Amino acid sequence: MQNYILAWNDHRITLGRRTRIMGILNVTPDSFSDGGYFYDHAAAIAHGEQMVADGADIIDIGGESTRPFSEPVSQHEETRRVIPVIEALAQRVRVPISIDTTKAAVAERALDAGAAIINDISALRQDPQMAPLAARAGVPVILMHMQGTPSNMQVNPQYTDLLGEIHQFFKTAIEQAQQQGIGRKQIVIDPGIGFGKNADNNLQLLKELSFFCDLQTPLLVGSSRKAFIRNLLKNEDHPDIDPLLPLVETGTQASVSAAVLNGAHIVRVHDVANTAATVKILDAVRNCGT
């Protein structure tokens, strides 16, 4: 596995020998996996602290659901949801906080409140002010591949060459980010499991993550509790699987294992404690004898 260092301001994260865990904190009423659980600010702050205690290296905070067929929320509402949580956690945890947004105005407020990473599922395409903001701030940026938008991405995703098309997407996105002043060493790529992909697409991406290694950027994978996992686990006893069932978490950890063994540097998950145990064993296997 290739090794990288993300270093900026007061933060430094080494990537390679130890898989890093990004804990998901949805401050929304309607996320597919935990919508409403942490919509209350006090609950969200407490959960963020718990994820750090469980082993999270990054906390990713989002105020707009990106589940399939979701609709966007206003800048005002998204800001209202996330800023108080970021302000509080920035004072209570030492790990960097990521803001999960496609809106530059929300990202700017989040950075002012203490966030230190921008996680943009549109890969800087939705808001023309996002790239200049990231360049000025000098923070890492996560660029994700998505076919379509959350409202239509799962209608009928199709590819002629899944890996080749996503590879070219990232090559272009990285070049455009650099042209707008974002340093190459500040870029992380995310193939976008479940974002405009069918089940076979997701499985192929997990199996062939190494296809993207030549892009010379760290890889983040977010497969946690996604629909393809739930659909694979369906049977007569479980015809309709709730994302919060223990069975789904077991499936998630299997997908995390595939991602780590095939090149993921960061895994984005809901259950940090379980994932910390999983990646500790996986890293020991990967590093044995090296």
Residue 290: predicted pLDDT: 77
Residue 33: predicted pLDDT: 53
Residue 1: predicted pLDDT: 81
Residue 209: predicted pLDDT: 97
Residue 73: predicted pLDDT: 86
Beta partners for residue 121, in sequence order: none
Residue 242: predicted pLDDT: 79
CA angle 251–45–241, rounded 5-degree value? 25
Q: List domains and CATH numbers for the chain.
A: 18-283 (3.20.20.20)
Residue 245: predicted pLDDT: 81
Residue 199: predicted pLDDT: 94
Rounded CA-CA distance 64/55 in Å is 25
In this structure, which amino acid lies at residue 271?
D
Q: Is 268 one of the catalytic residues? A: yes
Rounded CA-CA distance 273/216 in Å is 29
Catalytic residue among 103, 197, 226, 230: 226
What's the average pLDDT block by block, 10 residues per block, for the chain (290 residues)? 94 97 88 55 93 98 77 89 96 97 97 98 96 98 87 74 97 98 97 94 97 97 94 80 85 98 97 98 92
Positive or negative CA dihedral for 70, 74, 75, 81?
negative
Q: Is 80 one of the catalytic residues? A: no
Distances in Å between the Cα of 198 and the Cα atoms of 62, 184, 204 are: 24, 30, 10
Residue 91: predicted pLDDT: 97
Catalytic residue among 67, 268, 280, 286: 268
Residue 217: predicted pLDDT: 97
Coil, helix or strand for 24?
Answer: strand
Helix (H) or strand (E) holding 125: none
